Structure 1
Amino acid sequence: MFFKLLFLFVVMPIVEIALLLHVGELIGGWTTFLIVIVTAIAGAHLVRAQGLAALSEIQHKTQQGVLPAESITEGLMILVAGVLLVTPGFITDAIGLCLTIPLTRKPLAKLIIREFGQQVVARSKVYGTHQSHQQQYPQDKPSGTVIEGEWQRKDDNR
């Protein structure tokens, strides 16, 4: 975990700055600056459109009574993409663009859900959570109609 954070907050910015300087030497500083500004603005608009589409899909699936796990995952990916696209740099822009475009985002979201789901199942088996309890004792599940209400014992002498 430490090395991931070190890479994210130390190595990645250094690589981004070096790439920006190199591109600036090749095409000019103002042109590089303009490209960074245009990608930030275009990325913000793209993220807004994709984010609204993801939110609409989440609402639609929720109204149907379906768990919108994939849509929520995609929404979080779009949020991360927005941060990456607004951050100056070509590498972060490329990653942000991949997270924004449905062609690359949807397969990645399915992969994340599959990996996360396996971790949840593995942890539930290790820690003995309620999910594994239900799997071991299926007779604990309520059957038929469930009626909620209050009750009081009539033979209680208090």
Structure 2
Amino acid sequence: MVSTREHPLQTFLWSDFTVRNKREYTYRVVAIRGQPGALVEGENVEVRITTENEDRDTHAIYFNRGVAGSQAYTRKFGDRRPDEVPNREAWRWLSRGLFEAMLDFVGKARGPNSAVRAAVYEFNQGAVLQAFAKAPRFGCRCPNYLRRTSDS
């Protein structure tokens, strides 16, 4: 990995894929100037933030880590695919609670007063597809395309 301290960027878009919810963090961004091999720190700014709790009873918003967190993933799990990491630990880390929250939410859709509507991207997670497929069996109104999903 190459440090931006030695190879500075003129602009950047930055995310921290290691944060946990309901925690305080302080980030420091430093302007680096000079010639390669003779860089000097310039102005800097510190920002203190508190991360939110994803689940707020009535509404919840989850973001998984996905591909964008690849450097943090490699630091944590090395050069292993998620299915090569024991106890689904890598999958849990990548999910950041999204997988579990989605299964829980869809599982609560029971009875004629329940309905499930979803806007999803890359909808190919077997357990989630099965949860959507089972919802109509419990009286939940679901779009037809979800009813055609098989149990396999």
TM range, normalised to the smaller chain? under 0.3
More helix by share: 1
Quick one: higher RCO (CA 8 Å, sep 6+), 1 or 2?
1
Structure number with bigger Rg: 1
TM-score, structure 1 as length reference:
0.27
